[in-house]
Structure 1
Amino acid sequence: MDSSGAFWQQTSKVVEASYEITMLIAKSKKSHNMGETVIKPSVLRAAELVLRKDSANKLSQISLSNDTVKGRIDEMSQDIKDQVLDQVRASPVFAIQLDETTDVAQCYQPLMYARFMSGNSVKEEMLFCYPMESYTTAADIFQVVSNFSQKNQLSWDSLVGVCTDGAPAMLGLQSGFITRVKEKSPSAMGTHCILHREALASRTLPAEMRDVMNLAIKVVNFIKAGALNSRLFKQLCVDMDSEHQALLFHT
């Protein structure tokens, strides 16, 4: 192998090592500058002690700066997104589920998931989480979904199902989100999220079962209302030799 071939092979290995370390940083959910401040100095010092100084010099070529790590995480994220979109576009039909979350800064963020065919199996992946800075009406939410579908060439004709919660903005007969989706894809079937179905079903329980559920809710709310109550409940579970000692708030 000539010198130019060896150079490009070495460069390729350096880039590959940088991506591998970047992936570990991303999976650990640590700060991006961890690579430059912790990982790289540790690797160089270990290489210098265990191997030779020239080995450490080769490893010093690995770029792990904050901007480099961020850029490569963005590249890997975009690659995953492209792979998911390719599979959705290749599927003969697909369905979407739309839900929303409000973060600690009171920012409304709709999330859209897609369920599609991939080979002989059905897969489900998240497509986007988009922050909405102003209004959150059905028209605004539909515009976000429509823009995403148009930008990523998702055909409305292949859409066969839409799953949402029971909010008026979603289920409104005149201008709800599902109504607007059916204008684009008349064959799409609207369904109700199963978690919200359970919440609706709890409202029509017989009197005896409703009393039991209300009592359980009061107990849970009382225990989770303060840190002291939670600690006393944990101690009670320990005294009773209970298998579990923590009480979940949302179940």
Structure 2
Amino acid sequence: SLLIAKQKEPHTIGETLVKPCMVEAARLVLDQKCVNKLNQISLSDNTVKQRIDDMSQDIKLQVPETIRLSPFFDIQLDEPTNVAQLPQLLVYARFISENQVEEEFLFCSPLITTTKAEDVMNMVSNFFQEEKLSRAKLIGVCTDGAPSMLGSKSGFVTLVKKKNPDVITTHCLIHCEALASKTLPAALKVTLETVIRIVNHIKGGALNTRLLRQLCQDMDSAHQDLLFYTYVRWLSKGNVIARVFELFDELQVFLAAQGKKTDISC
């Protein structure tokens, strides 16, 4: 059940695929006695669901208990919106457990009405109260998402500091990095444009894509495809350039075979 949950597969796969594979392997490698024992294992979808629910409930009890035993902890909050246009409050916690720093998912709860800082604060406070988490041990808060997190007068960070003035607050730096990368120096801009042209030349045609994939397979490359550049995605620039760098030798060979300019070292 744990492996099925980790792979995000349908619960029915245990009964329709996993168990038959185990039984067939035991029949070929071991003996009929082992086959009979494996046939006694229940892997129906209801059984898998129940086991996953039991593990989830156990984790839900263990994490707050571990945080209560930790000398201090910090939390990270995000406020994404799902496909149903319903905002969700995601909270992660970092704490000390057995002399090691651990990070676990704390809770997820929908924001049914508004997404104001007061709503976020009430939800976090209610969870702390229900799980008996000491606010005095909270030493750090990292926020992400809407401006309601950072408002100077009524933001979530401000509300936290009113109750715990010594808490250290940070905000996600990806927003700042994304804005800074929109205005590149001339030299970096030329490099990015060159990379984008190469990617579009290869990814823009099915034939070039197949040829590059086959070349990467023949050269035992770590990757077999390039990544498309998307202007609106925060991390697209870095991911695209990193993949081109990792396939640098393969791209040199590919472009040379097509008679294209191979000086992509800029």
Matching of residue 188 in structure 1 with residue 167 in structure 2 = yes
State how far apart, in whole Å, the 2-side matches of 1:177 and 1:201 are: 25
State how far apart, in whole Å, the 2-side matches of 1:129 and 1:65 are: 28
Relative to the length of structure 2, the TM-score reads: 0.67
Q: Is residue 77–residue 143 contact of structure 2 (8 Å, CA) maintained in 1? A: yes
Structure 1 or 2: larger helix share? 1
State how far apart, in whole Å, the 1-side matches of 2:34 and 2:91 are: 50
Q: Is residue 107–residue 132 contact of structure 1 (8 Å, CA) maintained in 2? A: yes
1:209 — aligned with what?
185
Matching of residue 152 in structure 1 with residue 131 in structure 2 = yes
Of 165, 171, 180, which residue of structure 1 is paired with 2:150? 171
Distance 1:218 1:146, change over 3 A: farther
Distance 1:42 1:193, change over 3 A: closer
Compute the displacement of 1:137 (Å): 1.8
1:16 — aligned with what?
none
Equivalent pairs, count: 225
State how far apart, in whole Å, the 2-side matches of 1:130 and 1:221 are: 43
1:7 — aligned with what?
none
State how far apart, in whole Å, the 2-side matches of 1:230 and 1:155 are: 58
Matching of residue 229 in structure 1 with residue 211 in structure 2 = no
1:246 — aligned with what?
226
Distance 1:147 1:233, change over 3 A: farther
Distance 1:99 1:222, change over 3 A: farther
Q: Is residue 203–residue 226 contact of structure 2 (8 Å, CA) maintained in 1? A: no
Q: Is residue 222–residue 229 contact of structure 1 (8 Å, CA) maintained in 2? A: no
Question: Where in structure 2 are there 5+ consecutive unaligned residues?
Answer: 230-235, 239-266
Matching of residue 135 in structure 1 with residue 114 in structure 2 = yes
1:198 — aligned with what?
177
Percent of residue pairs bearing the same amino acid type: 48
Distance 1:129 1:212, change over 3 A: same
The 5 A counterparts of 1:1-251 are 22-44=1-23, 51-52=31-32, 56=36, 58-165=37-144, 167-199=146-178, 201-202=180-181, 209=185, 212-213=188-189, 216=192, 229=204, 234=209, 245-247=225-227, 249=229, 250=236, 251=238
Compute the displacement of 1:174 (Å): 1.8
Distance 1:90 1:167, change over 3 A: same
Compute the displacement of 1:110 (Å): 2.2
SS of aligned partner of 1:125: strand
Question: Where in structure 1 are there 5+ consecutive unaligned residues?
Answer: 1-21
Q: Deviations over 1:214-244 (max 9, x none)?
A: 98489759968xx963758857977998976
Higher mean C-alpha displacement, 103-112 vs 143-152? 103-112
Q: Is residue 101–residue 108 contact of structure 1 (8 Å, CA) maintained in 2? A: yes
State how far apart, in whole Å, the 2-side matches of 1:237 and 1:54 are: 47
State how far apart, in whole Å, the 2-side matches of 1:136 and 1:40 are: 46
Pairwise CA RMSD: 3.9
Counterpart residue type for residue 55 of structure 2: M
